[in-house]
C-alpha cells in the first residue's frame, strides 16, 4: 500500500515471515531537506530510530526462520 503525506511517499510492506515495514521516501536533490522531512514524518507517525531495519527483507525473513 502506498500513501502520500507531507510531500513524502509512505509504503507499507507486509512481508511473510518478517512482519510489517514502513518505508518513507521523498524525491529531491537536496539530501539535507529530504532527511529532515523524512525524520519529521517518521516522528509524526510515531516511529523512532530504534525501529530502523537496515537488512534486506530477504535477510530478515531468513533470520526470523532460524
- Looking at residue 31, the DSSP 8-state letter turns out to be H
For the entire predicted model, the pTM comes to 0.82
State residue 31's pLDDT score: 95
Start-to-end C-alpha separation, the chain: 28
- Looking at residue 50, the DSSP 8-state letter turns out to be G
* pLDDT over threshold 90, residue 66: no
State residue 24's pLDDT score: 97
Give the span between the Cα atoms of 45 and 55, in whole angstroms: 22
State residue 2's pLDDT score: 97
Give the span between the Cα atoms of 25 and 7, in whole angstroms: 9
The per-residue pLDDT for range 6-63, each reduced to its tens digit, is 999 999 999 999 999 999 999 999 999 999 999 999 999 999 999 999 999 999 999 9
Q: Are 45 and 6 in contact (CB under 8 A)?
A: no
- Looking at residue 18, the DSSP 8-state letter turns out to be T
Amino acid at each position: 500500500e502506498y500513501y502520500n503525506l507531507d510531500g513524502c511517499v509512505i509504503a507499507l510492506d507486509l512481508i511473510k515471515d518478517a512482519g510489517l515495514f514502513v518505508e518513507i521516501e521523498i524525491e529531491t536533490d537536496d539530501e539535507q531537506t529530504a532527511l529532515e522531512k523524512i525524520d519529521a514524518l517518521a516522528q509524526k507517525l510515531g516511529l523512532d530510530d530504534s525501529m530502523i531495519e537496515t537488512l534486506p527483507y530477504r535477510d530478515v525473513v531468513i533470520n526470523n526462520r532460524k
